[in-house]
């Protein structure tokens, strides 16, 4: 079931929640709506579900306009962050609920309902909990039951609103891997909301990065991470170091360091910012061409990884570097030692004020 979102807008008073968003979500795809709080991702999900009406724009499922259809007529399954299970019902009754309340003409027989419910409980590996109450289950188990309940009505589209947000980090990591395997089995077009970058990159086929009600970038996890469209996406998808730079005719200068920037060929001298991720910086113990002098201020060992904080003249903030522990041992650096930083992969963007000057 494909989903087309066509120029959708939604305001709450003076607050613009969704700002002229257009997207085409493909059949069988698992799409993550990723962004900070207030970016519009949950509002957009609720508009797709029919829980909110857009101020303007259209929603289409498989080419059919569903904008004005009631939520019960859209064929969507919805999984909430806090499970929303009926406390007084058993696990079996919770999963069966959507089937038992169907009109008599559409309602499966009791035998068919039981067969479907038990199949779903086996699929989520919780068939042994059928007679238990939700209060007798862990948070991760309750979320899997909520997912089984959403799937029981055989939805055309599965929508999940921060499904793992209420769980601790370890359970969340286990469940997102489980969700990926489940999606590969059922192939239902699915959209889930998250503010967790790692979750979006690990689970989804496609990531839609949102900010202030707008889509900043839309693409595969590899594409949005390796080729961020703008500084916001670069900074939101993981840690990043920022260096003040000058660009001119295809060259970006960070202090005495010069980097090739072919996208700025022919560019007049302009202020810019160079972005480089902590794991994309090599650390050297002697001066080399193409490296920045720095002083090591702090060493943090986190399992197999070492996180360094260094100070350079070219950055206003501390520069963060991530190295494998084996590489750090090879370097033999001590706190306070001199080091040289060599960026391995850098992206340069003109500053906003410079863009305004160029456009003006």
Report pLDDT digits (tens) over 150-161. Answer: 888 888 999 999
Residue 355 has pLDDT above 70, yes or no: no
Dihedral sign for Cα atoms in the order 85, 75, 63, 7: negative
- φ, ψ at 185 (rounded to 5°): -85, -40
Tokens of 116: 């479907």
Q: Is 162 left (phi over 0), alpha (psi -120 to 50) or beta?
A: left
Q: Is 187 left (phi over 0), alpha (psi -120 to 50) or beta?
A: left
The mean predicted confidence, pLDDT, of the chain is 91
pLDDT at res. 354: 55
Residue 359 has pLDDT above 50, yes or no: no
pLDDT tier at 216, thresholds 50, 70, 90: very high
Q: What is the largest CA-CA distance in the chain?
A: 79
pLDDT at res. 317: 79
Q: Is 122 left (phi over 0), alpha (psi -120 to 50) or beta?
A: alpha
Q: Is 335 left (phi over 0), alpha (psi -120 to 50) or beta?
A: beta
Instruction: Name all domains of the chain by residue range, CATH numbers in brackets.
Output: 3-236 (3.40.50.300), 241-359 (2.40.50.100)
Q: To 10 degrees, the CA torsion angle through 166, 171, 175, 178?
A: -170
Tokens of 164: 């793992």
Q: DSSP assignment of 42-81, as one string?
A: HHHHHHHHTSS--SEEEEEETTEE-TTS-GGGTTEEEE-T
The helix (H) or strand (E) run that includes residue 352 is helix 352-359
Average pLDDT over residues 210-233: 96
Report pLDDT digits (tens) over 32-77. Answer: 999 999 999 999 999 999 999 999 999 999 999 999 999 988 989 8
């Amino acid at each position: 079931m494909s989903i087309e979102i066509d120029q959708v807008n939604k305001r709450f008073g003076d607050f613009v929640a969704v700002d002229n968003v257009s997207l085409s979500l493909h059949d069988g795809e698992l799409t993550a709506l990723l962004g900070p709080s207030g970016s519009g991702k949950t509002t957009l999900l609720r508009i797709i579900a029919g829980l909110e009406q857009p101020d303007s724009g259209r929603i289409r499922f498989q080419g059919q306009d569903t904008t004005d259809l009631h939520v019960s007529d859209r064929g969507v399954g919805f999984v909430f962050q806090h499970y929303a299970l009926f406390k007084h019902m058993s696990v079996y009754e919770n999963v069966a609920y959507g089937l038992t309340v169907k009109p008599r003409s559409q309602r499966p027989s009791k035998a068919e309902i039981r067969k479907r419910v038990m199949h779903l409980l086996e699929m989520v590996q919780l068939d042994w909990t059928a007679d238990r109450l939700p209060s007798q289950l862990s948070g991760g188990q309750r979320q899997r039951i909520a997912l089984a309940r959403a799937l029981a009505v055989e939805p055309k589209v599965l929508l999940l609103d921060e499904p793992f947000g209420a769980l601790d980090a370890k359970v969340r990591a286990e469940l997102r891997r489980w969700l990926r395997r489940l999606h590969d089995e059922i192939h239902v077009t699915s959209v889930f909301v998250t503010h967790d970058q790692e979750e979006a990159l690990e689970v989804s086929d496609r990531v839609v990065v949102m900010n202030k009600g707008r889509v900043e970038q839309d693409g595969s996890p590899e594409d949005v991470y390796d080729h961020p469209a703008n500084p916001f996406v670069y900074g939101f998808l993981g840690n990043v170091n920022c260096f003040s730079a000058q660009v001119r005719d295809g060259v970006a200068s960070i202090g005495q360091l010069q980097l090739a920037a072919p996208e700025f060929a022919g560019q007049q001298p302009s202020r810019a910012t160079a972005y480089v991720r902590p794991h994309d910086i090599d650390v050297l113990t002697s001066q080399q061409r193409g490296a920045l002098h720095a002083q090591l201020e702090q060493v943090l060992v986190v399992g197999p990884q070492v996180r360094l904080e260094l100070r350079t003249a070219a950055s206003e903030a501390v520069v963060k570097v991530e190295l494998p522990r084996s590489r750090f041992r090879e370097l033999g650096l001590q706190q306070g030692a001199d080091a040289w930083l060599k960026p391995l992969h850098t992206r340069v963007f003109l500053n906003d004020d410079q863009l305004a000057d160029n456009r003006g």
